[in-house]
Amino acid sequence: MSLYTDLRAERKTFIYHGYQFGADFIEYEFSIDDEYYFRPRWEFDSSLTEGSYDHALAERIAFSLGMAELVSYWKCMCCPQVEVRCGGLDEWEIGWWKKLYFNGLGEFFYRNDIKPDFNDFMEISAPLPEKLPANENTLRGVLVPVGGGKDSVVSLELLKKTDEDIYPYIINPRGATLGCASAAGFDSSKVIGVRRTIDQTLLTLNSEGYLNGHTPFSAVVAFSAELFACLNNLRYIALSNESSANEAYVEGTQINHQYSKSTEFERDFRKYCAHSFGSGAPEYFSLLRPWSEWQIAREFVKYPQYFGVFQSCNLGSKNNTWCGKCAKCLYVYILLAAFLDDDTLTKIFGCNMLEKEELAPMLDGLMLDGTDKPFECVGTKEEVRLSLKMACDRREGHLPPLLGRFREHFPDYKAKDLGGYFDRNNFVPEKFLPLIEGKEAANEH
């Protein structure tokens, strides 16, 4: 018997009791068998709820945000039953949530050696939803989630070329996120900053050895962005997810660390909004979906004002540093090494990561076919190889160890030109396509 099986036999029901939506907070209440209670909380400036907005729509989105939150708490014991006692879900919506949970927990299941069956891993029961009153989308403006990395920086810079009002949206603001918004020219009046708190009971259970692992956090970002765009009467939500996010991480499977950043999730989320929120809901799309990560890096280096403030290392996020040891740091360093010299990169990262021989196993996972990618938000192996080839070409004489390792594996590498890559499987509104659809886009893939 496994821990997963034992827990499911002992703990039968995960309950979504309800939520409070106040002037400056939302607090959810979940429990496992009415014994373990969880009350995650969102806090925000009360000015967001003082103006005129679609209250019925905001309530429906707030309930749905709770559905996105609950899986983080469900996963600690993986109860076979999920009982929703508030809001409402129809049969189509129940199927939608099961699909998100199942695919979004792919890495969690894999790393915990769990082999669930889609039909049996969870059964959701809920009251039927009330019909929303008809509403019209007469909104204007763009909410842009900002995580502190290069991708959202590129989105901000591109969108600044339009006539739309832009509002950076930041969950749990920190130095890098606020610094990027400031470097882009947005003062505090334009930044929508919110605080999300995880219930301490979950952290305690994690420390006691209950099941833990990756969840589809970008789905939480999506629903929360819908909510705060609704409260601000904004028409668009422009994500910065790229085509590269679609690649599987484990060879021979569909397991994707970035499932809720994938095109499949984006398509599904847009369908959910149309089905459950109606035509008056803000429109969610990823501006950078047509591009690869390599193309985003090529655009990012045009804006050196961000070099000293951007940061996307999870380990270093609390103190706004690059740890210089993880796969995310190594990946971003490699991408930028295709375009920047090591003196510039060392100022950004605090070290020359290409000199770190101990990172060779991470490098192999990033560049070699037949190896699993590190479970971080990283792009495709093709992009990594192209960047390494360009980094080698930029550096004369003796190569640092990791570039030497690349050369050993690929002595005669013929890099595929990604300059004209343009993924037509995207949902970018027509008015924004000129921002990313240049002459190079004619060479479609």
Work out the pLDDT band at 377, boundaries 50, 70, 90.
Answer: confident
Work out the pLDDT band at 349, boundaries 50, 70, 90.
Answer: very high
Range of the domain at 340: 313-409
The last residue of one of the domains, among 250, 267, 286, is: 286
Residues 166 and 100 in one domain: yes
Residues 10 and 145 in one domain: yes
Tokens of residue 317, six digits: 């996020």
Residues 324 and 251 in one domain: no
Q: Is 251 a domain residue? A: yes
Residues 317 and 197 in one domain: no
- At 227-264, the pLDDT tens digits run 999 999 999 999 999 998 887 788 777 887 889 999 99
Q: How far apart are CA 251 and CA 182, in angstroms?
A: 41
How confident is the prediction for the chain on average, in pLDDT? Answer: 93
Scored b (16 or more CB within 10 A) or e, 127-136 reads eeeeebeeee
Whether the per-residue pLDDT at 442 is higher than 70: the answer is no
Strand partners, 26: 21, 42
- Residues in contact with 394: Cβ distance below 8 Å, sequence separation at least 6, in sequence order: 337, 338, 341
Residues 118 and 188 in one domain: yes
Residues 169 and 102 in one domain: yes
Residues 263 and 343 in one domain: no
Which of 177-186, 241-250, 270-279, 416-425 comes out lowest in average pLDDT? 241-250
Residues 281 and 171 in one domain: yes
The CA–CA distances, whole Å, from 444 to 156, 223, 294, 378, 403 equal 25, 32, 16, 22, 30
Work out the pLDDT band at 441, boundaries 50, 70, 90.
Answer: very low
Number of domains in the chain: 2
Q: DSSP string covering 34-74, please?
A: TTEEE--EEE--GGGGTS---HHHHHHHHHHHHHHHHHHHH
The last residue of one of the domains, among 394, 409, 424, is: 409
Residues 30 and 174 in one domain: yes
